[in-house]
Structure 1
C-alpha cells in the first residue's frame, strides 16, 4: 500500500502533499456510518461495521460487509434438494470481511490485512473506494495496493519445517503416487493430506519457494490435479498454513486461519479471537517489511 505522486516517486503516507493518508481513510470510513452503500457500476453493496481507530499507532480495523446483486438465483436446501427460496435481482448475499490497516506517518509503505470468505475477497472493491477518495481529496494522487509476496513477507518462516501438504478437491493419483511418497508420504485422506512420518518433516518452507527443488517440482505437478495446495509449516511451536501455487514465489501471500487459535462457527471466525490472531500476523509482516526498526502494533 503506497501513496504515489504523478512523477513516480513515493510520498510518506503522513505527508502526501498537505494530506495524511491515515486521516483521509479514517474520515472516509467514518463518513459512511454503518449503512449499506451501493456501487451501481459493479452491482455491489458494502458497509463498514465496528471499526476501531488508534491514532497513536496509526492503525484501524473492523468489518467490511460486501455482496453483489443483479442476478436471480435459486437458494437450494442441500439436505432436501428443494428450492427454499429465490434470490431476486435486488437481493445481495453479504459476507463479512475483517480488514486491518497500518499506515506509518514517515514511511511510504503501509500494510493491509484483508480477509477472504469462501475464496471471495474485497481487495478490488476496497482499493477502488480508497483510491477514488484519496485522488479526490489530494487532487489526483494515486493509491497502490500491491500484494505481498511470500519472499518479502515471510523471511522468518522460510526456515520453518513443513509438516503437511493439503490437496483440496484432489482428483487422481495413479502415476504420481510414487513421487508424492518421495516427500515422505505417510497418511492420506480426501481432501488429500500428505503428512510427514513421525519425528520427520517434508523439508523446510524455503524448499517450496525455490525453483528446481523436489518440493517445488512436486507442488507444480499437484496444482494441476486439485483446486488448492496448502502447506502446513511449524516453527517454535507456532503453525501457519500457506496456500501455494505452481510458482509460489510469485503468489499472493495467503494464509489460512489457524483453527487452534480461532474458533470457526458456521463458517465464520470468532472475531475477538480473529482480531488477536491478526495482530500477531501484522507484527510478523512489520518485522520483515521494516527490518531493524522495531515497529509493532
Structure 2
C-alpha cells in the first residue's frame, strides 16, 4: 500500500498582545531567508551519497530533486532504510535464501516528499509518502528542524492535516462511485483449505445500484463517508466493512476525475492518509515503488486541492 500524508509547516514568530493570538513568519521571508530555498539547499547537501542517522540506525539520502521556483515547490525522493538486524532474504517461490542480510545492510525504500511554499504565506504544504505503513516524516522532522533552527534561529512546526480540510473541495463536491475492501478473507471451506497453504487475502468492490437510466449511480457525497454521522447508513456500512478486511477505500469522482480515499476508524482522525495505487490514480510503480514523474503529477493535483481547502477557490495553484 502506498499513501500520501499531508502536513502544514509553520514557524512561530511571537504573540500579538493586542489581538492575543500567535503570529507566524512569512515563510518566503524568515529573517530574510526563504523556506523553499532552505529546503532545496538541505536536500542538495544530503544527496551526494548515503548518510548514517545513527540515532535510529537508519541510512538516508535525497535523490531526483526537482526545484521549481515558479510553482514555489521542491520535490524529491527521500531514500531511507533501517539496518542493525541480521536476516535472510528468501525467494518466495522456492523458499531458498537469495541474500544473507547482515547487521550493516539496510533495505531502502524510495519515499516521495514534496513542499509547496505559496508566496507571502505563513503555511507550507508538505506531502510525505508512506510505503506499506513505513513513513519518513519523523526522520525528516529530526533531520531538517535542527538545520532550520541553525539557519534562521527560529523553530519549525510540522503538524498533520486532517481529511476534511485537506480535500475540502472533494469532500463537498465528489460522489462515491464504489467501495473497496482490501485484505478481505471470505468465510468458506475453500478459504480454510487455502489458509493451510499460506495467507489468503483478496479484495472485493461494491458498486451502487443504478436507479434510473441516464443517471450516474453513486453512494452519495464523499463527505458522508469521511465524517459520517454516528447513526447514518454510511457509518453502518463503514463499520461493517472495516470488520471484514484490513482497510476500506472509497473511489470518488469530481468533474470527471477520480481519487481514492481511505475511510474508517483511523482515516478521519489526526492524520490523513490518502492512498494511491497503480491503475487507479495514474501513478506508475516500478518494482513496487513509485516512479517519480507520475507521482509528482498526482501529488501536484493533490496539493492544489489542499491549497483550495486552506485558502479558497482563488488560492495559489502549482
**Correspondence for 1:231:** 250
**Correspondence for 1:182:** none
Distance 2:267 2:134 in 1: 20
**Correspondence for 1:276:** 297
SS in 1 for 2:235: helix
SS in 1 for 2:120: coil
**Correspondence for 1:33:** 47
Contact 1:33/1:48 (<8 A) preserved: yes
Distance 1:247 1:69 in 2: 29
Question: How far apart are residue 51 of structure 1 and its match?
Answer: 0.7
Judge which range, 10-19 or 237-246, deviates more: 10-19
SS in 1 for 2:108: strand
Contact 1:38/1:45 (<8 A) preserved: yes
**Correspondence for 2:31:** 17
CA separation of 1:10 and 1:221: change in aligned 2, threshold 3 A = farther
Structure 2 residue runs of 5 or longer lacking an equivalent are 1-8, 16-21, 189-200, 211-215
SS in 2 for 1:17: coil
Distance 2:14 2:150 in 1: 14
**Correspondence for 1:200:** 217
Candidates 44, 67, 74, aligned match of 2:81: 67
SS in 2 for 1:12: coil
Instruction: Map 1:1-297; keep pairs closer than 5 Å.
Output: 1-5=9-13, 8-139=22-153, 141-158=154-171, 159-171=173-185, 190-198=202-210, 199-208=216-225, 209-212=227-230, 213-246=232-265, 248-257=267-276, 259-260=279-280, 261-297=282-318
CA separation of 1:44 and 1:247: change in aligned 2, threshold 3 A = closer
Distance 1:173 1:145 in 2: 43
Q: How many residues align structurally?
A: 282
Cα RMSD (Å): 2.2
Which has the larger strand fraction?
Answer: 2
Structure 1 residue runs of 5 or longer lacking an equivalent are 175-188
CA separation of 1:149 and 1:168: change in aligned 2, threshold 3 A = same
Query: Which protein has greater RCO, CA pairs closer than 8 Å, 6+ apart?
Result: 2
SS in 2 for 1:169: strand
**Correspondence for 1:177:** none
CA separation of 1:82 and 1:210: change in aligned 2, threshold 3 A = same
Distance 1:262 1:19 in 2: 34
Distance 1:23 1:270 in 2: 25
